[in-house]
Structure formats: C-alpha cells, structure tokens
C-alpha cells in the first residue's frame, strides 16, 4: 500500500518518527479521514484498513514506555464520536471541535462534562429553532443537534434548497452574533468559541505533561475546512496532512481514508524500527 504515499510524505514521516526523546501525538479527524463521507452520519464507519491502522497506533501508544499518543479530534458530539471511532484505551477523544474532551479507558470514555450558561442554552435554542425553520419544506435538508451547536446538513438537498437553507443559517448566526462554519455539505454554528487548533494546542500540552517529554511533535490529518484551524497552529517538526482535494495549509496530501490507513501503517513501521519500504 506504500505506493499511495509520495516521497515528500514518506520523508516527513521518517523525520517525525525519529527517536530523539520527543513525544509523538498522532491526531486524526474522523469523517472523511478514517471514515468515507456518507449521507447518514449515524451510518458512518471507519474503513477496515483505517480501523486496523488506528488499532496498531493505539497498541503502540498503550505499550509500556512508549512515547506515542493517539487522539481523535472531530466536530462530532463526543459520545457519538466515541461510539463510532471505538477509541483504543488511552486515546484522547476531542469532540465538538474542541468543546468536549475525554480519554478512552478500558471501561469506557472518561469525559469532562460540557455545561452551557443559561444565556448560551437560550441562544442554542434560538439557533436550533431558526435552523428548523430554514429546513422546513426543503427535502434533504435537516438539522443535527449537538450539545453546544446546531448543524444544517444539505448533502441530500437540491441546489436551490441548499442555497436557501444555507443563507438562512448564515443569517441566523449573524443575528445571534455567532460564527457559522461552512464544512462539507454542512453549516455548523456553535454557542461556544472553540476550534480544532485550540484543541491541538491543549493536547500538545497534556501529552508533554503526561510523558514528561521535552517536546511533542504532532501529526494531524483532516479533510474539511475546520481542519485548517488545526493545520494553522502546527509548525516545524509537525506533519500536516490534507485528505482529498481542495486548498489547504497542510504540507502533505493523501487521497482518501485508505491512503490514511497506509500512512498510519508506514508510521507504525517506522516507530517499531522497521523502516524497510
Ligand atoms: O471533524 P469531523 O470528524 O470531520 O466532523 C465534521 C462533521 O462530520 C459529520 O458530517 C460530515 O460527515 C457526514 C457523514 O459522512 C456527512 O453526511 C456530512 O455531509 C459531513 O459534513 C457530522 O455529521 C458533523 O456533525 C460534523 O461536524
């Protein structure tokens, strides 16, 4: 499978895996990266290749004395993400673009409760009502409810209904003083300020403390516009991977979840000391 990785990416992975005392944080988006995009978010599943590769990195992270950590960083609700991603014990799990955090244990997810202020809860109610109104009578458009956000989905809607619903979602966000994030056939608006970039910054600090490491290098793979905020905070020594087409701040690119699986497999080989191609 290694031919799906270009020379620049293979070189970047070799440098990333260099055993120099730094900790390695492998942080992965879910939808479009480990799991192909599908019409029904509840039906989303990792590819078999991605599952095997994630479990391999998870096993490396769980091994005694390892300097590796695994994280899932997604826009999904935390419980939804944990249900679908089935994170190996020890993996960090970040949902709602950073608003929700947890860590997988052998007994399930150990998570930090998310609470909204009364004002935020009221705003979320108004936002959700506006989106419900926006999709009424527009076949294929629907509203996903999350603990701190509401999401307009338009993957199955026609172009005119999509345009009208998106315009209404943008107008609602503006009226409520919120930021509408435009992703792949979604407009997501949260009542808490957060981003995957902030989440990765926090994770880097947590991993440094956890492993008492002098430095933490981060590999992050993402496919959507919200992942650009993660790419933006990464720098020297880190590896940024855009999955699929489109403009990006990432330094590397792969085509799809199968290529992500190949990437993770190659990384596991390098960490295990088997650098043969
Ligand atoms: O950060 P991610 O893990 O990429 O999550 C971003 C959004 O993912 C989900 O929507 C996307 O995947 C769906 C299932 O494949 C697809 O139907 C939708 O069009 C995609 O945008 C999820 O439903 C959203 O809540 C996440 O924010």
Pair (181, 214) in one structural domain: no
Residue 126 inside a domain? The answer is yes
- pLDDT at residue 3 is higher than 90: no
- pLDDT at residue 20 is higher than 50: yes
Q: Best of 95, 154, 186, 195 to mutate for ligand 1, by most ligand atoms within 8 A of CB?
A: 186
| Mean pLDDT calculated for residue range 172-193 | 97
- Cβ-count burial of 185 within 10 angstroms (0-12 exposed, 13-18 middle, 19+ buried)? middle
User: Residues near 116 by Cβ (< 8 Å), separated by ≥ 6?
Assistant: 124, 147, 148, 191, 192
Pair (79, 165) in one structural domain: no
Pair (79, 12) in one structural domain: yes
Residue among 27, 32, 8, 4 at smallest CA distance from 252: 8
Rounded Cα distance, 146 and 87, in Å = 20
Cβ contact 91:66 at 8 Å: no
Last residue of a domain, one of 158, 190, 222: 190
In degrees, rounded to 5, the angle at the alpha carbon of residue 262 between the alpha carbons of residues 264 and 33 is: 75
Rounded Cα distance, 94 and 25, in Å = 13
Domains of the chain: total: 2
Pair (161, 35) in one structural domain: no
Give the CATH number of the domain where residue 8 resides: 3.40.50.1000
Pair (134, 259) in one structural domain: no
Cβ contact 262:1 at 8 Å: yes
Worst-scoring range by mean pLDDT, 65-69, 114-118, 152-156? 65-69
Distance (angstroms) between ligand 1 centre and the Cα of 277 equals 34
Q: pLDDT digits over 65-100, tens only?
A: 889 999 999 999 999 999 999 999 999 999 999 999
| Mean pLDDT calculated for residue range 153-166 | 98
Q: State both tokens at 197.
A: 């970039």
- Rounded to 5 degrees, what are φ and ψ at 53? -70, -40
Ligand 1 pocket check for 258: Cβ under 6 Å: no
- pLDDT at residue 2 is higher than 90: no
Residue 209 inside a domain? The answer is yes
Can you give the pTM of this predicted structure?
0.96
Ligand 1 atom 15, closest CA: 37
Last residue of a domain, one of 190, 213, 246: 190
Ligand 1 pocket check for 217: Cβ under 6 Å: no
Give the CATH number of the domain where residue 168 resides: 3.30.70.1020
Last residue of a domain, one of 190, 208, 229: 190
Pair (15, 152) in one structural domain: no
Residue 227 inside a domain? The answer is yes
Ligand 1 atom 11, closest CA: 31
Question: pLDDT > 90: what percent of the chain?
Answer: 95
Pair (254, 200) in one structural domain: yes
Residue that has been written with the tokens 């499978």 in this structure? 1
| Mean pLDDT calculated for residue range 149-159 | 98
| Alpha-helix residue ranges (DSSP H) falling in the chain | 7-16, 48-62, 78-85, 118-135, 159-175, 196-211, 228-233, 257-272
Ligand 1 pocket check for 95: Cβ under 6 Å: no
Residue 277 inside a domain? The answer is no
Distance (angstroms) between ligand 1 centre and the Cα of 160 equals 21
- The number of the ligand 1 atom at minimal distance from the alpha carbon of 183 is 21
Pair (110, 234) in one structural domain: yes
Ligand 1 atom 4, closest CA: 31
Residue that has been written with the tokens 């608006």 in this structure? 189
Q: pLDDT digits over 197-228, tens only?
A: 999 999 999 999 999 999 999 999 999 999 99
Q: pLDDT digits over 8-19, tens only?
A: 999 999 999 999
Q: State both tokens at 28.
A: 């992965």
Ligand 1 pocket check for 41: Cβ under 6 Å: yes
- Determine which helix (DSSP H) or strand (DSSP E) holds 234, and give its type and residue range: none
Residue 93 inside a domain? The answer is yes
Residue 132 inside a domain? The answer is yes
What was the pLDDT predicted at 65? Answer: 80
In degrees, rounded to 5, the angle at the alpha carbon of residue 236 between the alpha carbons of residues 234 and 238 is: 55
Domain enclosing residue 77, as ranges: 2-114+194-272
For 25, 199, 208, 230, 239, the CA distances from 202, given in Å and listed in that order, are 12, 5, 10, 12, 17
- pLDDT at residue 277 is higher than 80: no
Pair (72, 209) in one structural domain: yes
Pair (10, 143) in one structural domain: no
Pair (61, 89) in one structural domain: yes
Around Cβ 107, how many Cβ atoms within 10 Å?
A: 7
Pair (204, 186) in one structural domain: no
Q: State both tokens at 19.
A: 């055993």
- pLDDT at residue 274 is higher than 70: no
Ligand 1 pocket check for 224: Cβ under 6 Å: yes
Residue among 73, 100, 86, 79 at smallest CA distance from 46: 86
Confidence band, pLDDT 50/70/90 cuts, at residue 1? very low
Partners of 100 in the β-ladder: 95
Mean of pLDDT over the chain: 96
Q: pLDDT digits over 24-51, tens only?
A: 999 999 999 999 999 999 999 999 999 9
């Amino acid at each position: 499978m290694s031919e799906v990785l270009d020379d620049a990416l293979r070189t970047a992975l070799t440098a990333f895996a260099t055993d120099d005392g730094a900790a390695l944080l492998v942080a992965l988006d879910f939808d479009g990266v480990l799991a192909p995009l599908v019409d029904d978010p509840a039906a989303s599943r990792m590819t078999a290749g991605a599952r095997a590769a994630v479990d391999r990195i998870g096993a490396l992270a769980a091994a005694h004395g390892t300097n590796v950590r695994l994280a899932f960083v997604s826009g999904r609700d935390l419980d939804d993400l944990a249900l679908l991603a089935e994170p190996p014990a020890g993996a960090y799990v970040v949902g709602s673009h950073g608003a929700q955090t947890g860590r997988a244990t052998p007994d399930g997810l150990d998570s930090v409760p998310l609470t909204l202020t009364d004002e935020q809860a009221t705003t979320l109610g108004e936002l959700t009502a506006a989106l419900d109104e926006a999709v009424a009578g527009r076949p294929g458009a629907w509203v996903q409810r999350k603990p701190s956000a509401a999401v307009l989905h338009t993957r199955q809607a026609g172009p005119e209904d999509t345009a009208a619903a998106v315009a209404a979602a943008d107008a609602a966000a503006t009226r409520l003083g919120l930021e509408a994030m435009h992703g792949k056939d979604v407009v997501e608006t949260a009542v808490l300020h957060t981003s995957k970039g902030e989440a990765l910054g926090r994770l880097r600090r947590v991993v440094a403390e956890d492993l008492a490491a002098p430095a933490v290098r981060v590999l992050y793979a993402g496919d959507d516009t919200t992942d650009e905020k993660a790419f933006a905070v990464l720098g020297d020594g880190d590896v940024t991977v855009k999955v699929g087409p489109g403009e990006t701040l990432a330094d590397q690119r792969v085509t799809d979840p199968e290529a992500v699986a190949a990437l993770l497999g190659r990384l596991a080989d390098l960490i295990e000391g088997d650098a043969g191609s």
